[in-house]
Chain A
Amino acid sequence: MTNKSIWVFGTRQVVFGAMGAAIYGVLSWTTQFLQLPAAGNVSFRPAVAVLVFFGIAYGPWVGLLAGVIGNTLGDALSGWGFFWNWSLGNGLMGLISGLAMPMINDFRARADLIKGITWGTIGIALGMIFASLTEIFVGGINLNTAVVGYFLPAFLGNFIVILVLLPILMTAFAGVAARRGR
């Protein structure tokens, strides 16, 4: 992607936002058998790496769309229902990760991989803080449960996921992008 203007919202963002959402929804649904230990409504989602990757590769709007729509689809498919605060938290995760897009030049380079993981970590931290703290009003839990029962397991689980899977995704994407010439 040559145009590094991250706040453009055109055809590219619509399509990859939708693609990211569909993949995030499908993978959340198919890999949810991995339940996080000690977490209330939080399931262990390898798909989070895909969400962060779409943000980093295609920008904040794509990350936001993929997170909000994808989480809604994943939850709806699984029968969890609709949790607007977790969907918005996932959207924030993608949006903040997407802020790294203009800083990434080579998806294979070690420095850019570290930038991707760093922004992804900031994204999951802020996204999960938002979702966990709003759960105090939505779910009637106390601050301790929000932090210890929701935020920490969700953050740690997602952090491990992006630490392991994001570099693999970024490296694979470097090859695909080079072949496509975009």
Chain B
Amino acid sequence: MLATWKYRPRDTFIQSLDPRTRLIFLFCVIFGLSIPQIWDYRIIVPIFALSLTLYFIARIEWIDVRRAWIFIIVLVIFIVGLNALLSGRGGPPSVLQTQSPTLFEVQFYIPGTKLGFTVPITIIKLWFAIVQITRMLTMAILVIPIPYTMDPNIYGVAFRRMGVSDKISFAMDLAFRFLPTFARDFATTVDAQRARGYELETLKGGIAAKLRRLAPLIIPVVMQATVTGEDVIDAMDLRAFDTNKRTWIKELHYSSRDQIMLGLGVSIFVACCLLKWVFGIGGFFVPRFFFALFGY
């Protein structure tokens, strides 16, 4: 059975946009932050505010996105944020190469022994963690609404009308459609294995042992996918897929609001590139007010 995203038609500005506009806008923001490596809060915060506004006007019910949000918050704040705070990794090299006052030290020692190490938490690492969290949320906030607000029937045609080949468009369409199915299968497998006494939270042992213990979760999902794949191939062959030039029933048209959003997206991308590569603005730095906050 094919599970679907919790898509629901709503009378909102977001859902009135052409799917290509939304995808291109998303790519513009992601590319704008990723390609020129923008780490400057003065650029990130306005884009974050824009993403947040678009998210709220999508009017997605909290009950639908609650799990996605919990996951994103746990990942971004507790895993990525703590990783950035403790190690300073995952961003520009200047985070680790620049000297900065230490706020406090975290001790990682085996109790009763002198085995372990001390991690200094510096102002630069703290600021980097905040910027990293904001930057990731900016992109995540734009991605989260897509499954809930974009009709799964138009993924393929949207990519096709963006100039991608029929086969690749169909592969993208299928990948998007099967994503929630496999996510559900994975969750079901985890539940089924737990019912048999599998303890996911206590994956003990070294890396190899941990990996081996993940096999009962991964193998059923992958093997089920190979079986499902054969059925999908049969169904597509019966419908003469790949025998002649393909047509798509759904027509897509840009409206004036699409052009405005596309203009905004392209402007963000171009502005990020120009600011970084022409004017040298957009790199990582710690603002003075943040130092002042801690009395430096």
Distance, CA A79 to CA B133, complexed state (A)? 10
Of B12-20, B75-83, B112-120, the stretch lying at the interface with chain A is B75-83
Q: Does A39 contact B (CB under 8 A)?
A: yes
Cross-chain contact B172 with A80 (CB below 8 angstroms): no
Known contacts A69-B172, A164-B212: does B181 contact A145 (CB below 8 Å)?
no
Of B170, B171, B211, B228, most buried by chain A (CB within 10 Å of CB) is B171
- Using CB atoms, name the residue of chain B closest to A142: B93
Cross-chain contact B223 with A173 (CB below 8 angstroms): yes
Q: CB within 8 Å of B: which of A67-100? A: 69-70, 73, 76-84
Cross-chain contact A180 with B34 (CB below 8 angstroms): no
Known contacts A22-B175, A46-B211, A172-B223: does B186 contact A182 (CB below 8 Å)?
no
Known contacts A27-B186, A79-B136: does B226 contact A15 (CB below 8 Å)?
no
Chain A residues positioned under 8 Å from B136 (CB to CB): 79-81
Distance, CA A107 to CA B30, complexed state (A)? 40
Interface string of A4-36 (1 = CB under 8 A from B): 000001111011111101110111011111110
Q: How large is the interface on A (under 10, 10 to 19, 20 to 34, 35 or more residues)?
A: 35 or more
Chain B residues positioned under 8 Å from A18 (CB to CB): 170-175, 178
Cross-chain contact A168 with B174 (CB below 8 angstroms): no
Cross-chain contact A19 with B236 (CB below 8 angstroms): no
Known contacts A15-B229, A82-B27, A82-B34: does B218 contact A46 (CB below 8 Å)?
yes
Q: Does A126 contact B (CB under 8 A)?
A: no
Q: Does B101 contact A (CB under 8 A)?
A: no
Known contacts A78-B75, A176-B223: does B228 contact A19 (CB below 8 Å)?
yes
Cross-chain contact A160 with B211 (CB below 8 angstroms): yes
Q: CB within 8 Å of A: which of B169-195? A: 170-179, 181-183, 186
Known contacts A19-B228, A19-B229, A21-B175: does B222 contact A169 (CB below 8 Å)?
yes
Known contacts A14-B174, A73-B175, A176-B223: does B207 contact A81 (CB below 8 Å)?
no
Q: Does A141 contact B (CB under 8 A)?
A: yes
Chain B residues positioned under 8 Å from A17 (CB to CB): 171, 175
- Using CB atoms, name the residue of chain A closest to B78: A33
Count: A-B pairs, CB below 8 Å: 174
Cross-chain contact B222 with A25 (CB below 8 angstroms): no
Q: CB within 8 Å of B: which of A36-51? A: 38-41, 44, 46-47, 49-50
- Using CB atoms, name the residue of chain B closest to A31: B214
Chain A residues positioned under 8 Å from B174 (CB to CB): 14-15, 18-19, 22
Of B30, B137, B237, which one neighbours A82 at CB under 8 angstroms? B30
Chain A residues positioned under 8 Å from B30 (CB to CB): 76, 81-82
Chain A residues positioned under 8 Å from B236 (CB to CB): 11, 14-15
Q: CB within 8 Å of A: which of B222-254? A: 222-223, 225-230, 232-233, 236-237, 241-242
Q: Does B54 contact A (CB under 8 A)?
A: no
CB distance from B236 to the nearest CB of A (A): 5
Of A22, A73, A168, most buried by chain B (CB within 10 Å of CB) is A22
- Using CB atoms, name the residue of chain A closest to B221: A23
Cross-chain contact A69 with B37 (CB below 8 angstroms): no
Distance, CA A14 to CA B233, complexed state (A)? 9
Of A82, A165, A173, which one neighbours B215 at CB under 8 angstroms? A165
CB distance from A171 to the nearest CB of B (A): 9
Of A81, A139, A176, which one neighbours B226 at CB under 8 angstroms? A176
Of B76, B207, B241, most buried by chain A (CB within 10 Å of CB) is B207
A-B contact pairs, 13 of them (CB 8 A): A11-B242, A18-B170, A23-B221, A27-B186, A27-B221, A34-B210, A73-B175, A79-B75, A81-B135, A160-B208, A165-B215, A180-B227, A180-B230
Q: Using CB atoms and an 8 Å cutoff, list the residues of chain B in contact with chain A.
A: 27, 30-31, 33-35, 37, 72, 75-76, 79, 83, 89-93, 135-137, 139-140, 143, 167-168, 170-179, 181-183, 186, 207-208, 210-212, 214-215, 218-219, 221-223, 225-230, 232-233, 236-237, 241-242
Question: Nearest 7 A-B pairs (CB), nearest first?
Answer: A79-B140, A18-B174, A22-B178, A21-B175, A79-B136, A18-B175, A164-B211
Given contacts A22-B175, A82-B31, A169-B222, 19 further A-B contacts (CB under 8 A): A14-B170, A14-B171, A18-B175, A19-B225, A22-B174, A22-B177, A26-B182, A26-B221, A50-B222, A65-B171, A70-B175, A77-B143, A79-B72, A81-B139, A138-B35, A140-B93, A149-B89, A172-B223, A176-B223
